[in-house]
A and B are shown apart, each in its own frame.
Chain A
Amino acid sequence: MKKTRIVLSFPPSNVEEPITYRLIKDYDLVVNILRASIDPGKQGRMVVELSGEESQIALAFNYLEKLGVSIEPLSQEIQHLEKRCTGCTACVPICPTGALDVDRKSWKVSYDPEKCVVCLSCLDVCIYKAVEVNLA
């Protein structure tokens, strides 16, 4: 089993191709869409996490490339700087996926990169600059 986070950009002509369906059905992959921006007639962009057999992921990449879909590794990553974090919880209601969360006994804020969809909302609300966006 392999897990990979990638950014797919596809030309307007392919926006109507059911890519997610094919990845699941033909390549037996678990597809977790982290972010997507798909408008008819425009270039589409999708941030996905793929899990499955390494060989199947390779075959899926071939399929995507044949369609003209460009594949890039997810190049941004949020970093939670625990030293700067005061545990104030201003980020907690803003984080849409619960990646930034607080333990309501210790009142320490924690960050789970597995849940993060790199929406960058936290950057604007952390007054202590305890979250940074890094190139992965």
Chain B
Amino acid sequence: MVRTIDEINDKIRSGSVVVVTAEEIIGLAREKGVKKAAREVDVVTTGTFSPMCSSGAFLNIKQPKEKMKLGGGWITLNGVPAYAGLAAADVYIGATAIPDGDPRNNNGRPGKFRYGGAHVIEDLVSGKKVVLNAGAYGTDCYPRKSREQKIGLKDMNEALLFNPRNCYQNYNVAVNLSEKPIYTYMGLLKPKLGNANYCSAGQLSPLLNDPFYRTIGVGSRIFLSGAQGYVAWNGTQHNPEIPRSENGTPRKAAGTLALIGNLREMDPQWIKAVSYTGYGVSLSLAVGVPIPIIDEDMMKFVSVSDEELFAPVVDYSRFYPTGEGEALLGEVTYAQLKSGAIEVKGKRIPTGCFSSYSKAREVAGQLKSLIQSGEFLLSQPVAQLPGAKEGLL
């Protein structure tokens, strides 16, 4: 053991902590060697900015004078339905929700999906008010049966972003083997291997820098779209049992994180609604996870580079939607993906990404500054994620 979380936090408080980003550490570890780098560096910051569909917000809406039980009734925010099957005043607005029969989403195929739950969340974080419409059956204790009102974050007791699945540890590279263009959550895929789309920050991505979840666990404090949020649990579909490279990183989608944070503390620049033509609405979020260098092994893990990270190439015209056809068209490194073109089935195809590397850099950089200035302390996880190897706990 090189150092503990407590020791790192003492250094953060005294202003002597050494923090570098997961991009900066690559050259540094090569230059100094893993042993020396592990001794000198206390924390490595990761970052990602990308659409994360499995996101949404719990809102507790202040009651009017004559109270209303939203639970069991219905509610829309700017016409977008939210889930009201909770108590009297709690609702959940999912990022991908869209209005029923809304012409904004219905202007011919492929749909444009111009407004949905993610846009409601972005509007609220930006300080805008949204129109609440709700109906309920009315009870003796909650007599009110309908409500129409403009509300903003100030009209809520709590507003929490709570995302069941974010930060996928690695992801597919999507291509299209068919004869016609397809519209997917990995973007427009042109026919006959016309393009290849990927979605990961690679060497800056949080879980690719802690492949065995040795330091990231339940209760880890993170940078979540400008706020200090937490890892609430493993994300849904978290699957550590994936073939791995020698460096420990999974060769396809593996671990995930469930994240929680206070919407009120978030920065509108880091929470952006997105519209996928022909697919739907999603929410782009900024997530930065600090990785404490607890030992030399951890330094080895965080110094992994795009050349050593592999992603699977998958056909989204047949195999992904139907499970039929060729399962794996090949494996490519993130360095190849980031070069602008990869080779699949002997054809050179241009690559595009949905995860912004320049923003990932900014996120890792912001988290680094927050730690250096003493505004962000690391937390000791309270439980490990499934599949975790010996680490902080």
A residues sitting closer than 8 Å to B (CB atoms) are: 86-94, 102, 104, 106-108, 124-125, 127-129
Which residue on B lies nearest to A86, using beta carbons?
B356
Give which listed residue, A86, A127, A129, contacts B358 with CB less than 8 A: A86
Which residue on A lies nearest to B353, using beta carbons?
A89
Instruction: Return the CB mask of B268-295 against A: 1 if under 8 Å, else 0.
Output: 0000101111100010100000000000
Contact in complex: B354, A127 (CB < 8 Å): yes
In Å, the complex CA distance between A86 and B271 comes to: 12
Contact in complex: B359, A87 (CB < 8 Å): yes
Assess whether B107 is interfacial by the CB under 8 Å rule: no
B residues sitting closer than 8 Å to A (CB atoms) are: 49-51, 110, 187-188, 190, 194-197, 272, 274-278, 282, 284, 338-340, 349-359, 361
Contact in complex: B195, A94 (CB < 8 Å): yes
Contact in complex: A124, B277 (CB < 8 Å): yes
| Complex interface: chain A residues within 8 A of B195 (CB) | 93-94
| Complex interface: chain B residues within 8 A of A86 (CB) | 49, 272, 284, 356, 358-359
Give which listed residue, A92, A107, A125, contacts B188 with CB less than 8 A: A125
Contact in complex: A128, B274 (CB < 8 Å): yes
Q: How far is the CB of A24 from chain B (nearest CB, A)?
A: 32
Question: 14 more A-B contacts (CB under 8 A) besides A87-B359, A90-B354, A127-B275?
Answer: A87-B358, A88-B355, A89-B357, A90-B187, A93-B349, A93-B350, A93-B351, A94-B195, A102-B340, A124-B188, A127-B51, A127-B187, A128-B272, A128-B274
Contact in complex: A94, B352 (CB < 8 Å): yes
**Known contacts A104-B340, A127-B51; is A94 also within 8 Å of B188 by CB?**
yes
20 residue pairs from A and B, CB less than 8 Å apart: A86-B284, A86-B356, A87-B356, A87-B357, A87-B359, A88-B354, A89-B351, A89-B356, A90-B197, A91-B352, A93-B194, A93-B195, A93-B350, A93-B352, A107-B356, A124-B188, A124-B277, A127-B187, A127-B274, A127-B276
In Å, the complex CA distance between A100 and B71 comes to: 48
Q: How far is the CB of B230 from chain A (nearest CB, A)?
A: 25
Contact in complex: B358, A107 (CB < 8 Å): yes
In Å, the complex CA distance between A58 and B99 comes to: 53
Q: How far is the CB of A35 from chain B (nearest CB, A)?
A: 18
| Complex interface: chain B residues within 8 A of A102 (CB) | 340
Q: How far is the CB of B50 from chain A (nearest CB, A)?
A: 8
In Å, the complex CA distance between A102 and B49 comes to: 17
Interface centre among A90, A92, A108, A124 (most CB of B within 10 A): A90
Which residue on A lies nearest to B187, using beta carbons?
A90
| Complex interface: chain A residues within 8 A of B188 (CB) | 94, 124-125
In Å, the complex CA distance between A104 and B227 comes to: 29
| Complex interface: chain A residues within 8 A of B277 (CB) | 124-125
Interface centre among B50, B274, B338 (most CB of A within 10 A): B274
Contact in complex: A104, B359 (CB < 8 Å): no
Contact in complex: B51, A92 (CB < 8 Å): no
Contact in complex: A90, B353 (CB < 8 Å): yes
Which residue on B lies nearest to A106, using beta carbons?
B358
Which residue on B lies nearest to A85, using beta carbons?
B356
| Complex interface: chain B residues within 8 A of A129 (CB) | 275
In Å, the complex CA distance between A128 and B275 comes to: 7
In Å, the complex CA distance between A122 and B51 comes to: 18
- Nearest first, the 5 A-B pairs at minimum CB distance are A93-B350, A107-B358, A127-B274, A93-B195, A87-B358
**Known contacts A94-B195, A125-B187; is A108 also within 8 Å of B358 by CB?**
yes
Contact in complex: B352, A92 (CB < 8 Å): yes
Interface centre among A87, A104, A129 (most CB of B within 10 A): A87
Which residue on A lies nearest to B181, using beta carbons?
A124
Q: How far is the CB of A25 from chain B (nearest CB, A)?
A: 37
In Å, the complex CA distance between A100 and B49 comes to: 20
Give which listed residue, B338, B354, B361, contacts A104 with CB less than 8 A: B338
Q: How far is the CB of B21 from chain A (nearest CB, A)?
A: 14
In Å, the complex CA distance between A92 and B338 comes to: 12
In Å, the complex CA distance between A93 and B173 comes to: 14
In Å, the complex CA distance between A85 and B353 comes to: 13
Which residue on B lies nearest to A124, using beta carbons?
B277
| Complex interface: chain A residues within 8 A of B284 (CB) | 86, 127-128
In Å, the complex CA distance between A86 and B276 comes to: 15
